[in-house]
Amino acid sequence: MVSQQPTAGELLREVTDLLGPEAAGLSEDDSLIEWGLDSIQLMQVANKWRRKGIKVGFPQLAKNPTLAGWRQVLADAAGVAPEPVVTVDIDESEPFPLALMQHAYWIGRDEETTLGSVAAHLYVEFDGHDVDAAKLERAVQALVKRHGMLRAKFTDDGRQQIMPERTQPALVVHDIDDEEELEAIRERCSHAQLNVADGEVFSIQLSRLPGGRTRLHVDVDMLAADALSYRVLLADLARFYQDPEAGEPMAYSYPRYLAEREPARKTDRVRAREWWQQRIPGLPAAPDLPLVPEAERGDTTRVTRRHHWLAPEDRKRLASRAHEHGLTPAMVVATAFAESLASWSAQPRFLLNVPMFDREGTHPEVDKLVGDFTGSVLLDVDLSEESSFVDHARALQNRMHADAAHAAYSGVEVLRDLSRHQGEQVLAPVVFTSALNLGELFDAEVRRLFGEAVWIISQGPQVLLDAQVTEVNEGLLINWDVRESAFPSGLIDDMFAAFHGLITRLGQDGDAWARPVGGALPAAQAEIRAKVNDTAGPRSGNLLHDGFFRRARENPDAPALLWSTGSLSYGALADRALRIAGSLDVSPGDTVGVSLPKGPDQIAAVLGVLAAGGAYVPIGIDQPPARAERIRRIAGLSTVLTNADSTAEPLAEPVRVGEESVAYVLFTSGSTGEPKGVEVPHRAAMNTIDDLNERFGIGESDRCLAVSALDFDLSVYDIFGLLGAGGAVVLVGEGDRRDARAWVELGAAQGVTLVNCVPALLDMLLAAARPGELAGMRTVLLGGDWVGTDLPGRVAAQAPRCRFAGLGGTTETAIHSTVCEVHGVPAQWRSVPYGTPLRNVACRVVDARGRDCPDWVGGELWIGGDGVAHGYRVDPERTADRFVEYEGRRWYRTGDLARYWPDGTLEFLGRRDHQVKVRGVRIELGEVEAALAEHPGVRRGIAGVAGNQLVAAVAGDVTADDVREFARTLLPPHMVPARVVVLDEMPLTANGKVDRRAVATHWSAESESYVAPTTPLEKVIAKVWADVLEVERVGADDPFFAIGGDSVLATVIVGRLREALDTNEISVRTLFAALSVRAMAERLLADETTPGRLTQVAEIYLEIEALSESDVDAELS
């Protein structure tokens, strides 16, 4: 039989029914999308025609969205015999499989799943008057009789069954006196987890209040009914409330629908699966939003709601502007949501989970059914490029149509494939649901009988943020349902305000569509940023060495340098420096190399170069000859001081240069292998020194332990900070640079009051000191690396009156740029933060498009102000890339990742190049390292990648297993190191920072070798896993997801193991709580009610498995 095609007139009438009477004026080639046709309506049209036997699908209609195009699509389908209607003979009283989304909901109820222990349900309250409890109870009974899924129960083996009767009461009535009791009922109901295993899939309650007021509470578990089924239920409830006998019995059922749908869509699923398989390697992750560590969250299951209602006139205005731009209102709202996410996401490209209302037209009564018909699409959102809102919206709409055209392979299945591809569970926990063009969620009759909906909340497992837009009272209701405790306080409020503010602007301001969505911070945040960056203050105008020579004139006999075997006064040091200056044939601005061991000669040489008007260039005596030669070449050195003895006539006074003259050139490692020479002017270095000396009251009585090498920028403060203030520099000899005990003894002997170094060197100093030996310390300044939260307390134990500060900065911004003086360590600190900018310094944290990141959002740290260096010596290209102009100020792009806290404090997150991808998932190594360092037995932790695994090394008195277990309490599963190496001490570079290359030698690049199961129970579990996962073998420690597992296969494995081990004590929870064969066996043995039985059954199972067919026949005979 050939299908009946609609005529041209019928086609136009169908389109007009969808788009409104104004569509009657459509021309043949007008875009139906521009007239407001959206993906939901496309699906409705495709389903409608398929019910008539016309073989047309969503992809063809979306590809040709004009009347002429559709006419051609229909013509191509003419003469094609429709696929035969699939009918399946089923026993509807028997258990039947869960649909894909149902299975995801069922798995998500388990507390062992990530973001689980939550029921997917929709709870609504209707505020009415004089609702009759008896009539309502009869209506509920009629509703249960009509819809089999209201009598469904869900078994612990992952199946569902429709029962003849429902055992729970049809209606619960509360007679209450005040709002407080109403709130208590809401609190119970809105976050309830109905007992679906016992057939409790919905709850209807009626609260009667004084004055005839009523409140109807309707809670439905989405295992039994999706959002559109909820609407069907309420409409039927209203009908039965007026007449319990209304309507004919249903001739179609949900189990029959599921059984008949899969064969009918087999061809579409195969085609869609192939399309998604090609895209899986390139799909992004979920939005990288700021999250509270799981161990620090409160009620992890609690969902709260934000809502915004767009009045009918505002909705019309927004829709009109959308259609002018060829966009659907749904995609406008989706793009506004995506733009808001992008502003708070560390990455501008991410996945959105988009549910699709996907009822196949398999039967005339399918739209009257109650059940779960939802599919989903993983929408690839890419807002990397700065474009206008309308360009982003059009791109997203095109992407949505392409993705929806392949929705026959559900987003749930794509996530499972992604998990297999990446070797661990992948979630898409940010959801956007549009019910536009599906009609009012609560029709007029429901509202007339039961009242207006005054409270709505939905929640779902494995969801952090669910945004929904639906039609209510002829306007648009926009809701966000949020796992509140997962996000920092205030963040969701700011995001939601930005979201609905953008939607309002789009409706009111036609020009807003043509502009990029700005990166404007929330007003309160912008005010705090401005305040902490309002650092303008006076500049001394001094050169780096001015303070020293002034002190030498004023107090020549004061000690300037102290070391283990001697000292040098200010006058004597000045004389040596001026003699060196007199021996140098340099012009102002020339560079002079200094390659001397640590000691007084090195300091004299540096001062001599500056006194001559030159800039000093440190070259470590331990530098490889080839690198030293590259430094000489790039710096343009004509002279390198390797001896500080000079008999030349001293200069009468230092040569005067301007404060913009280069004071020193420090060479840092370059990514290309060529060292980078940072040219730092006097102005930049003095800005840092002046601030710190004034802030911490550094003066003549201070003695600084100089442990940093000359070619490390912390040495600049050691030398010039102290000599400029009249204090003394206590010099560690070259031979003692790694002998912390020698430092302690030197410091005690010379009365050290100040230590300025990297954290690792302070850790060595504290570990080497005996009680009381560091009691004279007055100031500790730490920078150059992570500052652990243990260090302030350890310093206080040695020197109770010592001030402690962590500092942040780079060589390119003159030593330090920010400061955080610690007066106690809050529990939530992962490390001592960078703090706030120094005087005349400003800090920005920006995203990939150069926009200021909101609070808690990580981005690249830019440092501006008087501390910024000139650039890289003879490297204008690299200088132009890293030193940029913005709003009249020069900034250095650090490449560091940082974020602002709400109080204006900067937190350092790690190097941008310390972000890695492991199996496709982006991981910030700094976050992993901060979590490792929280272990009380770990002094320092380093994370990295070896092969395709995340690995770690720690220094401390711990075991690898202890560290991994501890990490699991703070980090999501994909950020827990697969292997941990325990070291006695972390290897350090010459500058005292952790030597990551040396650490990496302790990691084998090869994956862990296969470990065979050993016990009978392990062997049975491994065999079942291997059979179900279709792999040759499974090791005792192989991670479930890494070898191809997913939630569906977990359900199959549990069923097979129950049969093999003759027990009902195994559940999906067991597997998800122990994602390896060994861990699962251990858990089963720990939980078994009859000790020893599982092992005995496993042994029997293995004996039977080892028998041949002839052996079995012989045994049976």
What would the pLDDT profile of 325-339 be if each residue is shown by its tens digit? 989 999 999 999 999
> What is the pLDDT, as a whole number, of residue 934?
84
Kindly give the pairing relationship between strand 121-129 and strand 152-154: unpaired
> Does residue 493 sit in the same domain as residue 614?
no
- Is residue 1030 located within the same domain as residue 896? no
Residue 79: per-residue pLDDT: 53
Q: Does 292 lie in the same domain as 221?
A: no
Sequence-distant (6+) residues with CB within 8 A of 499 are 336, 337, 340, 467, 478, 480
The mean pLDDT of 293-320, rounded to a whole number, is 89
240 neighbors 378 (Cβ within 8 angstroms):
no
837 and 738 within one domain: yes
- Over residues 808-837, mean pLDDT: 94
pLDDT reading at 59 higher than 70: no
- For residue 822, is it within any domain? yes
Question: In this structure, are 235 and 340 located in the same domain?
Answer: no
pLDDT band at 834 (very low <50, low <70, confident <90, very high): very high
Phi-psi region of 697 (alpha: psi -120 to 50; beta: other; left: phi over 0): left
Residue-number span of the structural domain to which 129 is assigned: 96-246
Q: Which pLDDT value is given to residue 670?
A: 58
Residue 442 domain-assigned (yes or no): no
The CATH code of the domain that includes 139 is: 3.30.559.10
How far apart CA 596 and CA 603 sit, in angstroms, is: 9
Q: Which residues pair with 208 in a beta bridge?
A: 175, 214
Q: Does residue 90 sit within a domain?
A: no
Tell me, yes or no, whether 82 lies in a domain.
no
Q: Check residue 948 and give its pLDDT.
A: 64
Query: What local confidence, expressed as pLDDT, does residue 84 receive?
Result: 59
Mean pLDDT for the stretch of residues 697-706: 97
What is the DSSP-derived secondary structure letter of residue 484? G
List the single range of 238-252, 413-427, 554-568, 581-595 with lowest mean pLDDT.
Answer: 413-427
The rounded distance, in Å, linking the Cα atoms of 314 and 477 is: 12
Check if the beta carbon of residue 487 is closer than 8 Å to that of residue 291: yes
Q: Which of 945, 976, 1000 is the last residue of a domain?
A: 1000
Indicate the pLDDT class of residue 1007, thresholds 50, 70 and 90.
Answer: very low
Of 23, 49, 77, the one marking the end of a domain is 77
CATH code, 1048: 1.10.1200.10
Residue 941's CATH number? 3.30.300.30
Backbone phi, psi, residue 233, to 5°: -60, -45
Q: Sorting pLDDT into bands at 50, 70 and 90, what band is 80?
A: low
* Inside any domain, residue 262: no
Give the pLDDT mean for 518-524.
87
Kindly state whether residues 609 and 724 are assigned to the same domain. Answer: yes
b/e per residue 1059-1068 (b: at least 16 CB within 10 A) = ebbebeebbb
508 within domain boundaries: yes
Distance separating the N- and C-terminal Cα atoms of the chain: 58
Average pLDDT over residues 349-362: 88
Same domain for 791 and 863, yes or no, is: yes
pLDDT digits over 272-294, tens only?
999 999 999 899 999 999 999 87
- My answer on whether 474 and 507 are in the same domain is yes
pLDDT at res. 1006: 38
Lowest mean pLDDT across 14-28, 685-699, 985-999, 1058-1072: 14-28
The partner residues of 468 in beta bridges, in order of sequence, read: 433, 479
The predicted pLDDT at position 902 comes to: 97
What integer pLDDT is reported at residue 1 of this predicted model?
Answer: 41
Task: Specify whether 949 is located in the same domain as 1038.
Answer: no
Residue type, 1093: R
| Structure confidence by residue, pLDDT tens digits, 162-199 | 999 999 999 999 999 888 999 999 988 888 899 999 99
User: What's the pTM?
Assistant: 0.83
**Cα gap 318→312, rounded to integer Å:** 10
- Give the pLDDT confidence score for residue 261 in this predicted structure: 85
User: What average pLDDT does this structure show over 925-953?
Assistant: 83
Distance CA 860, CA 579 (A): 46
Contact 542, 724 (CB under 8 A): yes
Q: What is the average pLDDT value for the chain, to the nearest integer? A: 89
**Model confidence at 253: pLDDT above 50:** yes
What is the rounded distance in angstroms from the CA atom of residue 890 to the CA atom of residue 894?
13
pLDDT, mean of residues 89-98: 89
Separation of alpha carbons 739 and 754, rounded Å: 18
Asked whether 655 and 592 are in contact (CB, 8 A), the reply is no
Same domain, 567 and 591: yes
Instruction: Please state, in angstroms and rounded to a whole number, the distance separating the CA atoms of residues 684 and 817.
Output: 10
- Does a structural domain hold residue 863? yes
Range scoring the smallest mean pLDDT among 555-559, 843-847, 889-893, 1065-1069: 1065-1069
* pLDDT at residue 918, as a whole number: 64
Q: What pLDDT, in 10s, does the model give residues 311-323? A: 999 999 999 999 8
1023 has a pLDDT exceeding 80:
yes
Measuring CA to CA, which residue among 147, 156, 153, 154 is closest to residue 167? 153
Q: Which of residues 846, 873, 900 is at a domain's end? A: 900
**Tens digits of residue pLDDT in 398-417:** 999 889 889 989 999 999 89
Share of the chain above pLDDT 90, in %: 59
Task: Find where tokens 């089924």 sit.
Answer: 229
Residues 948-984 pLDDT 10s: 678 899 998 898 888 888 887 777 666 788 888 898 8
Q: Are residues 720 and 591 in the same domain?
A: yes
Strand ranges inside 300-383, DSSP E: 303-310, 349-357, 374-382
Cβ partners under 8 Å of residue 548, min gap 6: 560, 570, 573, 574, 607, 720, 723, 724
How far, in Å, CA of 376 to CA of 452, rounded? 30
Same domain, 221 and 183: yes
Q: What is the CATH number of the domain that holds 520?
A: 3.30.559.30
HEC string of 234-289 equals HHHHHHHHHCCCCCCCCCCCHHHHHHHHHHHCHHHHHHHHHHHHHHHHHCCCCCCC
Q: Is the dihedral of CA 309, 344, 302, 354 positive or negative?
A: positive
Number of domains in the chain: 6
pLDDT of residue 284: 94
Mean pLDDT of 919-930: 69
How far, in Å, CA of 308 to CA of 478, rounded?
5
Report whether pLDDT(827) > 50: yes
* Domain assignment of residue 436, yes or no: no
Q: Convert 989-1056 into a string of H (helix), E (strand) and C (coil).
A: CCCCCECHHHHHCCCCCCCCCCCCCCCHHHHHHHHHHHHHHCCCCCCCCCCCHHHCCCHHHHHHHHHH
pLDDT tens digits, 749-804:
999 999 999 998 999 999 999 999 999 999 999 998 889 999 999 999 999 999 99
Lowest-pLDDT range of 278-287, 599-608, 1051-1060: 1051-1060
Q: How far apart are CA 58 and CA 406, in angstroms?
A: 9
pLDDT at 353: 96
Say what percent of the chain tops pLDDT 70: 93
Per-residue pLDDT averaged across 668-672, rounded? 64
